[in-house]
Chains A and B, each alone.
Chain A
Amino acid sequence: MLDESDLAALLITLKLATVTTLILLVLGTPLAWWMAHTRWRFKFMLEAVIALPLVLPPTVLGFYLLVALGPQGPVGSLMEWFGGRPLAFSFAGLVIGSVFYSMPFVVQPLQSAFAAIGKRPMEVAATLRASPADRFFTVALPLARPGFLTAAVLGFAHTVGEFGVVLMIGGNIPGQTQVLSIAIYDHVETMEYSNAHWLSGGLLVLSFFMLMTVYALNRRFRPMQP
């Protein structure tokens, strides 16, 4: 069965995934909107940067984040200069790492959802007296709902499943930065297969149900109207 540190790891994992997903939805929505509509000629470079975590080994991303966030790194020393603590090996550091790591899983679905809406519904709303902000909230967001659902669930699930980045910048401090995937690894290392089974099985079922929910809801919601 689960012991106390397993439950702590579970809570930390869920908290990390929730905070990361919320941050990504807030940051990712304007970014995705801009990417879907800009004609900036270097957009492809930004797209490549955002997609990097898809192909990069997580340990590489984690390594650079560790260097940047650690006491000697640019961000870390800046933090110290302002009287803060370095971010490496803290929950805040985990959140920063996860935001980078899961960014493509949130931004890309949002971007394609916004692109699929096209300009026309927004033009129609403009001829119906809606200001730019008004039409964004009353037309673009509702029409992009399936995209938001996909983005939220993928971002959440991907953060729950991360390992390499967390291990590099979070360390493995039980009750502080130890997440589920690392707890499972530890159990397997110490031959505690029963605990590993409970955690792994739980994660498997959770992930499956989340994805099933997305696909079921997106099927029911008929988004576009020619």
Chain B
Amino acid sequence: MSIEARFHLNRGEFVLDVDMNIPVRGVTALYGPSGCGKTTLLRAIAGLEPCRNGYLRVGDMLWQDGGFCIPTHKRPLGLVFQETCLFAHLNVQRNLEYGLRRVPGHERKISLDKAIGLLDIGHLLLRRADELSGGERQRVAIARALAVSPGLLLMDEPLSALDLSRKQEILPYLESLHDDLNIPVIYVSHSPDEVARLADHLVLLENGRIRASGAIGEMLTRLDLSLARGDDAGALIEAVVAGHDDNYGLTFLEFPGGKFSVARKALPEGHPVRLRVAARDVSLTLERQTGTSILNIFPSHVEEIIPEGSAQMMVRLAVGNIPLLSRVTRKSAVLLNLARGTPVFAQVKSVALL
């Protein structure tokens, strides 16, 4: 099952020309700089951008094919806009019910109570929209979109209008959606942090075109893409909690290439976790170090290496079949004689649980 979208939109200066094929499960991020067309693409998927040259199939439903076009209000989707857009003439409860009441009974899969519970807004129901904080408003908007039991949830930078602490307030709710509901999500974002936390699949847009598309772990470590550059570049690893060491207060996180030891986390065994390993936190040695304080050392080999500026190199490693990034100085690369295929030990100084 996939979402197949082809659009050609001409908006004067800006041309969107995309041919996209993404899975109908998990979270797909449309990622790119401002003005790259990600919001326009999302609006075209929602049917909000008039477009005569388009094809859109979601799973086995055809939504658009040239002149044939199902209007937005007949598409089983939910949309959360960038700025919160609650109806000012209705209170929170009536906002939540607005979409729900227009969905026939047999199509309702998510009850209002479930949507309210997931976003934790039960105490706000009788408030007016303008009496809510920015974070609360966005939570209501997300719950309102969920209450129509969408077959596809579209989110247009739902956090970008919020300050950092409000973002931190909403992100856990978005993650719980990902875990609790089996709704495919297309998520527009220009924040690497959000994408790393939420996305399973990533579509990279540049100047109205799709530059690349693929699984998030793969995309973040592709050295030919802008994602693997800059200070925040790093790899993403899916792991599970493999056990705890009560003696030293450690938790073991197992992934296909080995096992991380991190400070004790209150998570049950078997719990899936997503780890982020920044390229600046990975150093390389040719022999396994013994007298070192670093616990997480993995045998690997160099897959690719490219210069980054004049003094640094970005190295993609394979730990088993899991990619990892390491930023080293050009001098070190020369001294270690790093090249494609060189066996190295990757020393991971720190790892972040997302």
A224 contact from B48, B79, B88, B103, Cβ within 8 A: B88
Q: What are the residues of chain A within 8 A of B77 when measuring CB–CB? A: 127
B102 contact from A130, A139, A143, A145, Cβ within 8 A: A130
Residue B46 is within 8 A (CB to CB) of chain A in the complex: yes
Which residues of A from 18 to 63 have beta carbons under 8 Å from B?
none
A222 contact from B78, B81, B88, Cβ within 8 A: B88
Residue B89 is within 8 A (CB to CB) of chain A in the complex: yes
Q: What are the residues of chain B within 8 A of A226 when measuring CB–CB? A: 83
Q: What are the residues of chain A within 8 A of B71 when measuring CB–CB? A: 126
B126-155 vs A, Cβ < 8 Å mask (1 yes, 0 no):
000110000000000000110010000000
Q: What are the residues of chain A within 8 A of B26 when measuring CB–CB? A: none
Residue B223 is within 8 A (CB to CB) of chain A in the complex: no
Quick one: given A123-B48, A124-B81, A225-B130, are A129 and B103 in contact (CB under 8 Å)? yes
Q: How far is the CB of A34 from chain B (nearest CB, A)?
A: 17
Q: B101: nearest residue on chain A (CB-CB)?
A: A129
Q: B103: nearest residue on chain A (CB-CB)?
A: A129
Determine if A129 and B99 form an interchain contact, defined as CB atoms under 8 angstroms apart: yes
Quick one: given A127-B77, A127-B78, A127-B79, are A145 and B99 in contact (CB under 8 Å)? no
Q: How far is the CB of B91 from chain A (nearest CB, A)?
A: 12
Determine if B46 and A127 form an interchain contact, defined as CB atoms under 8 angstroms apart: yes
Q: How far is the CA of A222 from the CA of B71 in the complex (A)?
A: 31
Residue B86 is within 8 A (CB to CB) of chain A in the complex: yes
Determine if B73 and A131 form an interchain contact, defined as CB atoms under 8 angstroms apart: yes
Residue B87 is within 8 A (CB to CB) of chain A in the complex: yes
Determine if A120 and B85 form an interchain contact, defined as CB atoms under 8 angstroms apart: yes
Say what secondary structure dominates the interface of chain A.
helix
Quick one: given A127-B145, A128-B148, A129-B73, are A225 and B85 in contact (CB under 8 Å)? yes
Q: What are the residues of chain A within 8 A of B148 when measuring CB–CB? A: 128-129
Residue A171 is within 8 A (CB to CB) of chain B in the complex: no
Residue A223 is within 8 A (CB to CB) of chain B in the complex: yes
Q: How far is the CA of A120 from the CA of B48 in the complex (A)?
A: 10
Q: How far is the CA of A121 from the CA of B89 in the complex (A)?
A: 11
Which residues of A from 123 to 142 have beta carbons under 8 Å from B?
123-132, 134-135, 138-139, 142
Q: B144: nearest residue on chain A (CB-CB)?
A: A128
Residue B173 is within 8 A (CB to CB) of chain A in the complex: no
Which residues of B from 240 to 298 have beta carbons under 8 Å from A?
none
Q: How far is the CA of A226 from the CA of B141 in the complex (A)?
A: 13
Residue B72 is within 8 A (CB to CB) of chain A in the complex: yes
Q: What are the residues of chain B within 8 A of A131 when measuring CB–CB? A: 73
Determine if A121 and B87 form an interchain contact, defined as CB atoms under 8 angstroms apart: yes
Quick one: given A127-B72, A128-B99, are A225 and B88 in contact (CB under 8 Å)? yes
Q: Which 10 A-B pairs have the closest CB atoms?
A: A128-B99, A129-B102, A225-B88, A127-B79, A126-B72, A142-B89, A124-B85, A126-B73, A129-B73, A225-B129
A123-B72, A126-B73 given; name 13 further pairs at CB < 8 Å.
A121-B85, A124-B81, A124-B85, A127-B72, A127-B79, A128-B144, A128-B148, A129-B148, A131-B73, A145-B89, A222-B88, A225-B84, A225-B85
Which residues of A are at the interface with B, using a C-beta cutoff of 8 A? 120-121, 123-132, 134-135, 138-139, 142-143, 145, 222-226
Which residues of B are at the interface with A, using a C-beta cutoff of 8 A? 46-48, 71-74, 77-79, 81, 83-89, 98-99, 102-103, 129-130, 144-145, 148
Name 19 interchain pairs, CB-CB below 8 A, sorted by A: A123-B81, A124-B81, A124-B87, A127-B77, A127-B79, A127-B99, A128-B73, A128-B99, A128-B102, A129-B102, A129-B103, A132-B73, A134-B73, A142-B89, A223-B88, A225-B84, A225-B85, A225-B86, A226-B83
